[in-house]
Amino acid sequence: LVCELGAVPPLVCDPGQLEQIFINVILNALQSLEGRPRRQVAIRTTYDAAGDAVAARVSDTGCGIRPEFLPRVFDVGFTTKSSGQGSGFGLAMVHGALQRQGGRIEIASVFGEGTTVTLAFPAGERRDG
């Protein structure tokens, strides 16, 4: 696990939702490492003062996501995991929670090499939801 936590301003958001967002994204990253020869998860935070936004990037050296699956990863019930291994609700929940907080999620992935999930949070006032 690599953590590069840059200086960021405090976020004013729902702490329970923030916890669930990170649990789901980091758990997905860890699960993607099964059977991989090189296993790494990196978490990096940055602050964009011009956009007044905090970004957290969670990157892994896991199996990656097939390109044809990328458009569906936020669909409720969609999973790339084996039967009984995933519900398909994690990334849908993350997407919804970030939208309610005024943020966004982006995923970049290369099948067979790994995935980077970027979580963007607005700095400043609380967004209720």
What confidence tens digit (pLDDT) does each residue in 67-79 have? 999 999 998 877 7
3-state secondary structure the chain: CEEEECCCCCCCCCHHHHHHHHHHHHHHHHHCCCCCCCCCEEEEEEEECCCCEEEEEEEECCCCCCHHHHHHCCCCCCCCCCCCCCCCCHHHHHHHHHHHCCCEEEEEEECCCEEEEEEEEECCCCCCC
Q: What is the pTM of this model?
A: 0.86
Measure Cα distances from 9 to 45, 50, 87, 103 in Å. Answer: 11, 13, 34, 15
The 10s digit of each residue's pLDDT in 94-122 is: 999 999 888 999 999 999 999 999 999 98
